[in-house]
Structure 1
């Protein structure tokens, strides 16, 4: 329902806009200075998408979004180009957000770890790291993911789109870039170097985890006792204290002699003899 302030009608404003009063959405309290903008916004709650692409069937509640989408099919070139790196965008707002990369502007900051993001969506996605939330679920196997891109890559396993396979271990990937990064494990190439201590790694996520040792960042927080950890695996192990989970039945836990990790060598502990 459109909430038109009675004072707006009382003071004789003949237009559907006024600088001193707002049109408020009854469902989310979002306010607009123009009645037409509120009507368009209401479509979000109603699920109304009056603008439908005849080529792919995708629907839009705004005409502007529909026009921008049609450029994908028509092959029409982007209009907004970054003067610093040459990247092009179909929307002026997208270019504006992109410019923050060059200016160093980070408008959205995580209150828990201080990490900054140039987009609100990036911060929202990052917060799942702290909360442990995995909002993206695979409808085929039930597995859940923190990020939508991770779910999209996972779905390709079911659809058979994982067409890029490692020739050495036959592991499949949905993206060619992922295979290239994976090959670092076999070749021993370590392109990711810590600028503080010089240590190098085969994978970027491993470097990110290592950097937390220098920064002291602990993004994984227990929602029951508030204790924080630098690695997700440590939080998972910690949670067993609260849940009482015992991953190994009594007497079946593997001994340290039977555990071998890639790249690790185990040496027997020194024995001290008493005099």
Structure 2
């Protein structure tokens, strides 16, 4: 949620200083306050030179340097600098959204979020990038965008030193190291690192696949999935490996392929020490040790270790044969069966 602009702490300032559980102002803060000089426009912090209008806002600002966050949420133990921030945060738990847009009815937890949203309806984009003339609703959005031109990546992972231009991708990346998956499906209990991944997963339970291919009538959960699928029909492979010349339909598959050349196999099985390129490959492999077979046929109850095996099996019940020979039009349930058949014609 967007914070209101003020002379108080910005979100980035707050999150780049260490949290403490100090309940009262520390001696360090007292000594810093005593050394503070009064400027023409109010008070000046002797630590960073920032000017504040009154002693109260100065005391709030000093918590950047002391790390003090005395206001704690009793639901999740997250701490805050000011009681007003805690009040706003509690709406995450209560689901309270008291500010509603008069144009479209969308509601928000903070008035500042509503004000920014209303600019979408008015079309006001007052912040302009001088490099490419792209316009933005908020100054922070412009600042983030400009890092595309400058190449600046100020956010660094403390585990592997990988750098990011925005703080949210850093947070998401760090979950790879910590194993944190805060978003959980209420239907099956599966957990995800990103809310978008959870939302996409939820469609599995609803069965909703609204995006249909006009070539083969296959349906997809997302428009992006459909777009990628269409490359099967167009034979489009725009992502080329510079080392071996092999081409791919998506950038993500190219990146995975490049790890083969780099010899990078960063996911290791604790049972047999075998290493894998992706965490998905490792997860599938671990089912050999655990005996887990999570994919169940809805027709006969047979279980499978991999979703691909389940899909191929279900075609026995449905009669679906999606792989057809271009010479004699004989249909097959699996691509491997089609490839074997093609040798007859060659």
TM-score category of the 2 structures, normalised to the smaller one? 0.5 to 0.7
Please say if 1:65 is aligned against 2:109: no
- Partner residue, 1:268: none
More helix by share: 2
TM-score (normalised: structure 2): 0.56
- Partner residue, 2:147: 100
Q: How many residues align?
A: 250
- Partner residue, 1:269: none
Taking only aligned residues, the RMSD between alpha carbons, in angstroms, comes to 4.3
- Partner residue, 2:233: 186
Distance 1:90 1:133 in 2: 33
- Partner residue, 1:47: 91
What SS does the corresponding residue of 1:208 show, helix, strand or coil?
A: helix
Shift of 1:209: 0.9
Is the 8 Å Cα contact of residues 97 and 109 (structure 2) preserved in structure 1?
yes
Is the 8 Å Cα contact of residues 209 and 230 (structure 1) preserved in structure 2?
yes
Shift of 1:83: 2.1
> For residues 139-178 of structure 1, what are the structure 2 equivalents within 5 Å?
139=186, 144-155=191-202, 162-178=209-225
- Partner residue, 2:8: none
Distance 1:262 1:213 in 2: 28
- Partner residue, 1:272: none
Shift of 1:129: 4.2
What SS does the corresponding residue of 1:18 show, helix, strand or coil?
A: helix
> For residues 196-207 of structure 1, what are the structure 2 equivalents within 5 Å?
196-207=243-254
For residues 196-230 of structure 1, the C-alpha deviation after alignment (integer angstroms, 9 at most, x for no partner) is: 32210123322121011233444545578987521
The higher-RCO structure (CA 8 Å, 6+ apart) is 1
Is the 8 Å Cα contact of residues 91 and 97 (structure 2) preserved in structure 1?
no
Alpha-carbon distance change, 222 to 51 in structure 1, aligned in 2, over 3 angstroms: farther
Shift of 1:98: 1.8
Moved more, 219-228 or 122-131: 219-228
Alpha-carbon distance change, 218 to 263 in structure 1, aligned in 2, over 3 angstroms: farther
Is the 8 Å Cα contact of residues 181 and 203 (structure 1) preserved in structure 2?
yes
Distance 2:143 2:211 in 1: 35
Please say if 1:234 is aligned against 2:281: yes
Distance 1:67 1:264 in 2: 59
- Partner residue, 2:25: 5
Distance 2:188 2:79 in 1: 38
Shift of 1:104: 1.5
Moved more, 19-28 or 51-60: 19-28
Shift of 1:189: 1.9
Gaps of 5+ in 2: 1-21, 35-42, 44-53, 73-77, 295-301, 303-308, 310-332, 341-346
Moved more, 230-239 or 45-54: 45-54
TM-score (normalised: structure 1): 0.68
State which of 201, 210, 215 in structure 1 corresponds to 2:257.
210
Gaps of 5+ in 1: 32-37, 266-275
What SS does the corresponding residue of 1:24 show, helix, strand or coil?
A: coil
